[in-house]
Amino acid sequence: MSTPTQSPRRARIADATAAFFDNRLATIGLVVLVLVTLFCFVGPLIWHTDQVHTNLFGALQPPGREHPLGTDDLGRDVLGRLMVGGRISLIVGVIAAVVATTVGALYGSLAGYAGGTIDAAMMRVVDAIISIPTLFIILFIASLAPPTVTTLIVAITVTSWLVPARIIRGEALTLRRLDFVRLVKTMGGGSVRAVTRHVLPNTVSTMAVNATFQVADAILLIATLSFLGLGPRPPAANWGGMLSGGLQYEYSGYWWMIYPAGIAIIVTVMSINLVGDGLRDALSPKSAS
């Protein structure tokens, strides 16, 4: 591994960007992700639909000129609902990923930098919580109160800070033995300074890759919660709720109640994972040398 000070930061970012866009799958993933985001956040400004009022006379209409993807069981336009429905997934996913990665990185870098008994004790706590399946913890939290966007973010954060904590702690263990971190103490800097100014900045690429994958996991998790009946409550739309709600019409032939939402989930999760893979390859020290 080359020391980060050897080449100017800007050149390294340019190298990583070039490596990322050399990866065809990652580039496709990024393009799709941008399109999905535009679809969810700019789409409703162009395609005006009423997602609040129900219209039972216009329920379950097949796709046609007026409703390109048909209407749902309450007469709402499916295309418009798909646009609004992606918002919760993306917002919760991104915020939870950022918060969880930050918390995990702080915890992990402190443990790794401290080393010894403090490190061992801190990591056994991580081991203990990580041994409880994520879905069980989140269902437990969801059973306490009906999930809102805020409680969803909290619930997902409670479980997702553990993996970044483990990974970053591993990196901090390596970094604290390197001269530029060891010398902080010699020059009169405290542990906090060593961690925030010297350890954490060198783990940014790991954090970015990890956060990307967590957004994908969060979207699947929200969909699963909706299926289990403990997801965000209607009338707020979300893809998982649309999919699991539509599945009761599986044998009635109303395919537009199932496939648009299901495919939206698959396409989004897949492109996020492709971007994550691409980021990891582009940022790893092996490919840089």
Partner 1 sequence: MTGFLVRRALQAVFVLIVVTVVVFLLLHALPEGPARAILGPRATPAMLQAFNHANGFDRPLPVQYFRWLVRVLHGDLGFSYKRNDSVTHLLATAVPRTLLLVGLSTVLAVLVAVPVGLLQGARRNSAVDHTLTAVTFTLYSMPAFWLGLLLVDVFAVRLHWLPPEAPSGGIVDILLHPSGLILPVVTLALVTLASFSRYVRASTVEQLEQDYVRTARAKGLPPNQVVRYHVLRNALSPVVSLLGLSLPWILGGSLVVEAVFNFPGTGFLFWNAAQGQDYPVMLGIVLVVAVGTVIGSLLADLGYAALDPRLRDEVGQS
Residues of the shown chain interacting with partner 1 in the complex, contacts defined by CB under 8 A: 124-125, 127-137, 139-140, 142-144, 170, 216, 220, 223-224, 227-230, 240, 243-244, 247, 250-251, 262, 265-267, 269-270, 273-274
User: Shortest approach of partner 1 to residue 15 CB, angstroms?
Assistant: 21
Residue with tokens 């699947």: 220
User: Shortest approach of partner 1 to residue 225 CB, angstroms?
Assistant: 10
Whichever of 47 and 281 has its CB closer to partner 1, that residue is 281
Q: Which positions ≥6 away from 35 have C-beta within 8 Å?
A: none
The torsion angles phi and psi of 200, rounded to 5 degrees, stand at -55, -45
Task: Identify whether 235 is preceded by a cis peptide bond (ω within 30 of 0).
Answer: yes
Give the separation between CA 213 and CA 285, rounded to whole angstroms: 19
Whichever of 195 and 265 has its CB closer to partner 1, that residue is 265
Number of Cβ within 10 Å of residue 182's Cβ equals 13
Helix/strand/coil for 75: coil
Whichever of 208 and 220 has its CB closer to partner 1, that residue is 220
If you ran DSSP here, which 8-state letter would residue 132 be given? S
Please report the sign of the dihedral spanned by the C-alpha atoms of residue 151, residue 218, residue 36, residue 38: positive
User: Shortest approach of partner 1 to residue 143 CB, angstroms?
Assistant: 4
Q: What share of the chain is helix, strand, coil (3-state, %, to 5)?
A: 75, 0, 25
Q: Which positions ≥6 away from 261 have C-beta within 8 Å?
A: 82, 85, 239, 240, 242, 243, 246
User: Shortest approach of partner 1 to residue 186 CB, angstroms?
Assistant: 26
Whichever of 197 and 233 has its CB closer to partner 1, that residue is 233
User: Shortest approach of partner 1 to residue 247 CB, angstroms?
Assistant: 6
User: Shortest approach of partner 1 to residue 72 CB, angstroms?
Assistant: 17
Helix/strand/coil for 77: strand
Whichever of 154 and 230 has its CB closer to partner 1, that residue is 230
Whichever of 49 and 214 has its CB closer to partner 1, that residue is 214
User: Shortest approach of partner 1 to residue 270 CB, angstroms?
Assistant: 4
Whichever of 163 and 194 has its CB closer to partner 1, that residue is 163
Give the separation between CA 92 and CA 96, rounded to whole angstroms: 6
